[in-house]
Structure 1
Amino acid sequence: MLRRGALRFGSVGGAIQLQLTTQLSTKALRSKWKRRPKSSSNLAFPPAFTENLRRWQKLLKMEIDANERVIREHLSNSSWRDLSRRGLAIGNLRLVSHKVEPLCGRVVELETSDSEHWNSMGIKFKRGVPLVLCSGERISHLGECVLLSASERRIRLKLDGRAPELSVDHPTSYVLIPSVTAGVLHSLTKFLSESSSWKGLPGERILQYAYRAVPMPVVHRDRKLQCIQKLNDDQQRAVAAALNRSRPIVTIQGPPGTGKTAVVIEIILQAIRTKQKVLVCAPSNLAIENIIGRIRGETEASRMSLDPSISMEEDLKQHNSYSDLLRLYEQLNESIRLTGDSSITRKISQEATRLRDSMRKSVVVEKQVILCTVSSGSLHTLRGLGFFPDVVIVDEAAQAMECATWVPLLQAPRCVLAGDHCQLPTVLHSSEAISQGLGTSLMETLDKEFGSVVKHFLSVQHRMNEKIMRWSADYFYESKLQAHRSVAGISLSDISAIDGSDLMNEPLLMIDTHSVSRQRGLSVSVERIHQQSYRNHGEAEIVCAYVQFLMRKGVRQCDVGVISPYFAQVELLRKTLGEEIVNTVDGFQGQQREVIVMSLVRNNYEGRIGFLSDARRLNVAVTRARRQFLLVGSSSMMRHAEHLRSLLECIRTVGKVLRPDQLTFLSVDAHAIGQDVSER
């Protein structure tokens, strides 16, 4: 067990969260410094990587432009309220105050006059959420920021020191954009443009291996370990490989339900046992939160907030120099008020910054484990703060762009990438950038390039009924994925009043809306465009009726998930079912439910399937379910794409395809499935 807590910490450079856990004494730390990796600065970047650097910068610019274009297009067809519900932006904000605080630095407070708009936002107001501040007129990028607090109408933000000065007296309106859609891209562009400064970093050798500038070591045997958690054979082998210091690169592919996160946790705990320093990263805050929760269960970890100052807030407040820091910032704010940006103000600011940095370093230098997002601006400060990791672990690595993954990987001589490139990649808006490979992950590239030399596959899933697993296993995982005996036969009858012989107890079901055109008294289920998205009222009625049927049979609401690829359909379903159980496919990644009900939405003569053209999105949808996956959609539409055809054939082979007139839970009135739910 660890003697110290865990500390989350990041910077305003992107979607950021850090957590630190410590055990090393000062004596042990000195010995770590002596074993610091030798510089490889005499090595040149491989030509292929140099070319990628140029290409990535161009593609990132495309994606930045596409992000801003998406917001403008949505705004031209809808209101700021609609954009906020989608989690795209928060607009019409007014600056209330702008000051400098001891731990957070520049802090701004913004206010909205629309309380209804404020309460319905898709962006969750949680301390530490990374955002980008923009001017309202042209949505132009002003600076990165981190949310400190939010009240009924106001929001407090820590602003990047590089952002321009803001004036309360100026009548400018402001916009906030989630940093994952803007700030991260700007930070990456800056990072890539400074590649000359990467020379001599410990991870430069990893780069050489990845691009075959030097031969990848081939290891035939890993030392068997005494695991802390109960793990199966595949998981134990993956942990042993990850802890083998002769392996510079290890990838762990974990299909849905195979316990990939448990493997990551085991690697962290084992590394702590052997006194290694570990940097753990992920592309999203959600993934970091998941690991934080698991570490807390296994260690005496305490949770902090983020940003190098915010995340260390409690540690810094206990520091012997904290009272001196408070005094300096009181003097600084008074000097700003009286003299503005004078030489006296700058001198006090420099002194306060030096003291704060010294305090940070004294805290970080003792830490053993750090967790952060791959795009965290704080990654660039770790070495200066005295943190030299022995290994970098990237969870959900398949969701991170390769260019983003190199940010943490350059910090250590070894890396472990865990994820599944058969699930959703990073979300991008520029079709051209996507077609040119911006969304391709380093993990996917390494697996294709080196295969079993670096790759370890987790083959036993503990989540879903084997019928639900079957399509995913055959289509994505070469039929290598197996269902553990504890879940292979689970069904709804185990947790509800649905009889085991009931048709609706089938684990894999489809309700085919194509056939309704041939049913007397039934309308055709069709797609309709709504605010640059799609919805299907007929499918919505069937979905809502089935969820209500499940509730009557004793299935708990929290055990049901309703998903759709389209936000307009999600909003339509939420009118009846509420927000708690309805989300997009992307929003459900990393989660599971006893029952998943999916609305396909698309139904047109041309066979256009939009979002559904990415087979990985369908893989995520199906594998969220444990006891039942029910698909509502048109079989004729599914014939237009190979992966949809294969799923349809799988349902017909191991599950059941039903017509709406076979459903006893549909009332006579509900058979008019073309009618808008909201009008009934």
Structure 2
Amino acid sequence: MASTPVESFVTKQLELLELERDAEVEERRSWQENVSLKELQNRGVCLLKLQVSSQRTGLYGRLLITLEPRRCVSAAVLPSNSFTSGDIVGLYDESGQLATGILTRITQKAVTVAFDESHDSQLSLDQEHSYRLLKLANDVTYKRLKKALISLKKYHSGPASSLIEVLFGTSDPSPPSEMPPLTFCNPALDASQQEAVLFALSQKELAIIHGPPGTGKTTTVVEIILQAVKRGSKVLCCAPSNVAVDNLVERLAQWKQRILRLGHPARLLDSIQQHSLDAVLARSDGARIVADIRRDIDQAWAKNRKTQDKREKSNFRDEIKLLRKELKDREEAAMLESLAAANVILATNTGASADGPLKLLPDGHFDVVVIDECAQALEASCWIPLLKARKCILAGDHKQLPPTIVSHKAALAGLSRSLMERLAERHGAGAVRMLTVQYRMHQAIARWASEALYHGQLTAHPSVAGHLLRDLPGVAATEETGVPLLLVDTAGCGLLELEEDDEQSKGNPGEVRLVGLHVQALVDAGVRATDIAVITPYNLQVDLLRQNLAHRHPELEIRSVDGFQGREKEAVILSFVRSNRKGEVGFLAEDRRINVAVTRARRHVAVVCDSRTVSNHAFLKTLVDYLTEHGEVRTAFEYLDDIVPENYSHEGAQAGGKPRGSAATARRAPGGTGPGQKKPSGAPLGSSEPQPQPSLDGGGSREGAGSRAGADGFRATIVEFMASEKTQLEFPASLNPHDRLRVHQIAEEFGLRHDSTGKGRERFITVSKRALPTPAAPGGRAPLCPKTPSSKQPEPPEQPEPPEQPEPPVRESSGWDQPDLKALHLERLQRAGAQQEQRAKEGPCAPGPAPRKLPEKKKKRDARGPVAIELPAEEDFDALVSAAIKADNTCGFAKCTASVVTLGQLCLHCGRRYCLGHHLPEVHGCGERARAHARQRISREGVLYPGSGTKDRSLDPAKRAQLQRRLDKKLDELTGQRRSKRKEKGK
């Protein structure tokens, strides 16, 4: 007989759960046998070297112990770990396990564990001793999942029968019911949220609310619950984690609903303890009676221990048995009364099991089950609450992180596929409503996620579409705070990941430093550290980042991707870590993990990665391409002084310039374009206007295809202008000095008039057509006839009108003295006019001035100009241009003709380029200025970099951590060997 879809599903799920269970058991067995404690800590399942910071009594008499890293540990923060609230943990010291408790709260600096009353008298913890915590296996969860699947297989009649048929495709969903006009409790809902609420209420079996990041999914779910309660429905609301459930409790409590939170009080937030079942029972009418019965039981036990008479002991035992039965009956009656009075009962998926308080309620008590964050839950866990109602509403985002699975084999076989993902693929738009307006991210951040994962349907609300960091109170407008997207590319910079065979995780010290510099730039601009998050996929990188940044920015949050889902920050910095010659990306290949990481940001996302490595994965390549097209792109060379040659420092040649302290102070003000950036920071997203290419740091012309393409574009523009009837053409002020030089060259080549006017950033070029030559008229200008350098004929007697005196040219702050050819040309015309006027006064036969010879010594000194080459006659403009270009590409030292196009050093003091043989200031004549600069710097900073002052011999934090791990591993191995020898001796 062929099995039904339900039976096939249950059989497969039980097999996969068994694989997952075996993987967990094997992992924990290997922890105890073969893996050192330090390695367990690196894997995130153990916390070492903890000390007790406080002990107190919590709710209902439970002992709360807070532990923190020992003060002798260099970093005052906990290492990266996978502990979460609600985990079962073991407390150990040197002698072994002391107790088992439930983790109630964990921060970057401390962890709090709750122990039952029975441990209160047994635990005696010394604040000077060292303890450790180890995550323990949770058999209860596995047993509940297995029990739920077996109940599903045996379920034949009951309120959930039609729901089961719809969810497994054996029947179609019923037509939606007609909805009367609704008055929304929250009038601020947008159109997509209102539509989702109406859809969820009208469906009879299944409704799926797909909420991408920042779309107000929880707000929509709360509205659905409130409307269902108004219609008289009893609602069971669940989620896979305690944090998600507590979030719903806090939101529903604002609406003064009768809500009840099931679960261990130690797993609940302090703010919602009043809504827990224990707290409600403590406030009930029968609480005093229950307390009296407990006191009677304790007294009976005390009398039983004191008496020696067997008959009296038997009587006391019978009395205790009766008291316990009465206690149970009264507690269950009070519990049932509290459960029945609540309109909304909230619990985790496994907390809604049949062996808990809900067993007291009759079948069919609930009208609807709501499962929030359904995409993060195992489907088997969803069936625990689903069997209790005839209708379900699922909310979540299956494009974000899936459930966490230990067994890779089970995950590939389908255990990681959530119920929401399966039903969304099966029913499509017939059962799904997606929220389309997000209220978190800048439109540039949201657009990538929308196009990559949400079919372009996700849009930014106007209130957040253009917000940037610089819009926050107290934040200055800098290059970092003025862009929503930033890519810091480490490709080709040698910042490779750590390649350690004994490391389970991955780290990249180079990216750690880049992240630190960018964090410092944001903090210097006024962004609070609490508004910044650093996210990385690898636990080792989390540890390296915390070691490097925690002491400077204690409030900075550094977490893995998995620990940040559901959160948001104003600025997010991502470190992708992977940078290797093989192009391996590891589990960065999980698209949903990258989606979560990017969409945590509100105003600014900075991605630090090796584009060459990560682009080997198609989805990551779409992110890199998007950042390149719509964001600002920088190379790691712009940040790291120890990689960039000193002569290419961003300080430029300004006397007494500020030392480069951070990336923010080293670059230009916002509005200029940084090196390597695709678009200026102020350019609107998606702008199709061609942007000029920025000039290289330290000056110098751009060579290669990009430069030729720019010249061809200018040439085409000028040719089109010549063919038109226009008489004047203006080029924008956004051209850099090199582009303006090319425009001057091309205009001169075509015989056009070209003027450069304005100052600084307002400088622009105007190209106009020359008037056709006409017979000389009184006061008219005679055409100038260029003569060759060898010509010794006197100039014609005509006296041309001296050209208009132009405004003195303003040099561009490009870091070196680039010759302004237009200014030279205007000066040549002026001198030529003066010479013609002088010759006219002296007569037509006056011989021209003989060329003046410079003394040998003087000539040698003057040869240290831009370059020691012979300049052509002033009237030959083309030759002058060629000479200037040649001067730019030739060593600036006297009589040296070495090319500096590929290998050249820029002098910070004279602004000229020299070959490797003459680049030292003392060699080419800048020794005095170099010494003055060194004295000024050492007086200001105390250290002259490189080569003088007190050298920092402290070990790099990343290297120190790596060596510490190796040392701990070696010590553990030696300790194990000593123990084995002792055992042998004992035998």
Q: Determine if the alignment matches structure 1 residue 240 to structure 2 residue 198.
A: yes
Which residue matches 2:284? 319
**2:386 and 2:424 mapped to 1: Cα distance?**
16
CA shift for structure 1 position 123: 8.2
Q: 3-state SS of the aligned residue for 1:289?
A: helix
Task: Provide the secondary structure at the position in 2 that maps to 1:187.
Answer: helix
Show the 5 A alignment for 1:17-32: none
Residue equivalent to 2:450 = 473
- The alpha-carbon deviation at position 83 of structure 1 amounts to 4.6
Cα distance in 2 for partners of 1:532, 1:275 equals 54
- C-alpha distance in structure 1 between counterparts of 2:574 and 2:69, whole Å: 34
What residue is the counterpart of 1:435 in the other structure?
412
Range with greater deviation from structure 2 (209-218 or 399-408): 209-218
C-alpha contact 1:223 1:240 (8 A) present in aligned 2: no
Measure the CA separation in 2 of the matches of 1:633 and 1:643. Answer: 14
Q: 1:260 to 1:352 in 2, by over 3 A?
A: same
Give 1:258 shift: 0.9
Give the superposition deviation at 1:282: 0.8
Q: Please state if 1:556 is matched with 2:528.
A: yes
Q: Retained in 2: the 8 A contact 1:145–1:159? A: no
Quote the Cα distance in structure 1 between the aligned partners of 2:613 and 2:448. 18
> Which position in structure 1 is the counterpart of 2:328?
353
Match of 2:597 in 1: 621
Is contact 2:476-2:526 (8 Å) kept?
Answer: no
Deviates more, 1:581-590 or 1:66-75: 66-75
Change (3 A) 1:468 1:249: same
Larger relative contact order (Cα-Cα within 8 Å, sequence gap ≥ 6) = 1
Equivalent residue of 1:540, what SS?
A: helix
Q: Residues 141-540 of structure 1 correspond to what in structure 2 (within 5 A)? A: 156-158=114-116, 177=135, 183-195=140-152, 198-219=155-176, 222-229=179-186, 230-244=188-202, 246-299=203-256, 306-307=263-264, 311-333=276-298, 338=304, 346-378=321-353, 380=355, 381-385=357-361, 388-495=365-472, 502=479, 505-517=482-494, 524-529=495-500, 531-540=503-512
Q: Is 539-548 or 286-295 further displaced after alignment?
A: 286-295
Measured in 2, the distance between the counterparts of 1:602 and 1:148 equals 34
* Residues 1:622 and 1:121: Cα distance change in structure 2 (over 3 Å): closer
* 3-state secondary structure, aligned to 2:233: coil
Separation of aligned partners in 2, 1:483 and 1:609: 31
C-alpha displacement of 1:314? 2.8
Please state whether the residue corresponding to 1:604 is helix, strand or coil. coil
C-alpha change, 1:88 and 1:503, in structure 2 (3 Å) is closer
Deviations 1:217-246 (A, max 9, x none): 2439655422121111110010011112x4
Give the Cα–Cα distance (whole angstroms) in 2 for the partners of residues 572 and 174 of structure 1. 21
Contact 1:537 1:676 in 2 (8 A): no
* Offset, 1:457: 0.9
The secondary structure found in structure 1 opposite 2:493 is helix
Asked if structure 2 preserves the Cα contact closer than 8 Å seen for 1:304 and 1:313, the reply is no
Amino acid at match of 2:430: V
Over residues 357-398 of structure 1, what are the superposed CA-to-partner deviations in whole Å (9 max), with x where a residue is unaligned? 122112111111011111115555425235811111111111
- What letter is aligned with 2:544? L
| CA distance in 2 between partners of 1:590 and 1:61 (Å) | 30
Pairwise CA RMSD: 4.3
Q: 1:566 is matched by which residue type in structure 2?
A: Y
How big is each residue's C-alpha offset from its partner over 1:178-218, in whole Å with a ceiling of 9 and x where there is no partner?
67x65423321233234466443422321111112222224
Q: Distance in 2 between matches of 1:548 and 1:202?
A: 59
* Cα pair distance change 1:175/1:623, threshold 3 Å: closer
Instruction: Using the TM superposition, give the Cα deviation of residue 302 of structure 1 relative to its aligned residue in structure 2, in angstroms.
Output: 8.2
C-alpha distance in 1 between matches for 2:383 and 2:475: 51
- C-alpha contact 1:92 1:136 (8 A) present in aligned 2: no
Superposition deviation, residue 544 in structure 1: 1.0
Of the structure 1 ranges 605-614 and 303-312, higher mean CA displacement relative to structure 2 is found in: 303-312
The equivalent position to 1:66 in structure 2, one of 4, 18, 23, is: 23
Q: 2:505, 2:539 within 8 Å by CA — same for their partners in 1?
A: yes
Shift in Å, 1:307? 3.7
Deviates more, 1:455-464 or 1:296-305: 296-305
Inter-CA distance 660–155: structure 2 relative to 1 (3 Å threshold): closer
Q: How do 1:90-129 residues align onto structure 2 when only pairs under 5 Å count?
A: 120=78, 129=86
Question: Residue 200 of structure 2 aligns to which amino acid in structure 1?
Answer: A
User: Residue by residue, what CA displacement relative to the aligned partner does 1:446-478 show, whole Å, maximum 9, x if unpaired?
Assistant: 111111111001111111111111221111111
Identical-pair percentage: 30
Q: Distance in 2 between matches of 1:624 and 1:112?
A: 30
CA distance in 2, matches of 1:122, 1:84: 8
In 1, Cα distance between the equivalents of 2:575 and 2:211?
26
Aligned partner letter, 2:380 = C
Task: State the 1:500 CA deviation.
Answer: 5.5
- 1:101-143 CA-partner distances (Å, limit 9, x unpaired): 9989xx89999999779994878999x8352679999x99xx9
Contact 2:45 2:83 in 1 (8 A): no
CA contact (8 A) 2:237 2:369 kept: yes
**1:532 aligned counterpart, secondary structure:** coil
State the Cα deviation string for residues 255-285 of structure 1 (Å, max 9, x = none). 1111111100111111222221111111111
- Choose which of 540, 547, 552 in structure 2 pairs with 1:575: 547
Please say which of residues 65-74 and 273-282 is displaced more in the overlay. 65-74
Shift of 1:678: 4.3
CA positional deviation for 1:329: 2.7
8 A contact 2:177–2:204 mirrored in 1: no
* Alpha carbons of structure 1 residues 611 and 318: separation in structure 2 relative to 1, 3 Å: same
Maintained 8 Å contact 1:218/1:453: no
Does the C-alpha gap of structure 1 residues 145 and 251 become closer, same or farther in structure 2, counting only changes over 3 Å?
farther
Aligned pair count?
Answer: 605
Question: Which position in structure 1 is the counterpart of 2:631?
Answer: 655
Q: Which residue of 1 aligns with 2:908?
A: none
**Structure 1 residue 46, shift from structure 2 partner:** 7.6
Cα separation, 1, equivalents of 2:210 and 2:111: 44
- Identify which of 504, 507, 513 aligns with 1:541: 513
> What stretches of structure 1 of length at least 5 have no aligned partner?
1-43, 94-100, 518-523
1:630 equivalent to 2:606? Answer yes
Equivalent residues in 2 for 1:5-84, closer than 5 Å: 47-73=4-30, 80=37, 83=40
Distance across 2 between alignment mates of 1:57 and 1:157: 33
**What is the rounded CA distance, in whole Å, between the counterparts of 1:154 and 1:469 in structure 2?**
37
Distance change >3 Å, CA 545–CA 133, structure 1 → 2: closer
Q: TM-score, normalised by structure 2?
A: 0.55
SS of 1:55's equivalent in the other structure is helix
Find the structure with the greater CA-based Rg: 2
More strand by share: 1
Q: CA separation of 1:581/1:56 partners in 2, compared to 1, >3 Å: closer, same or farther?
A: same
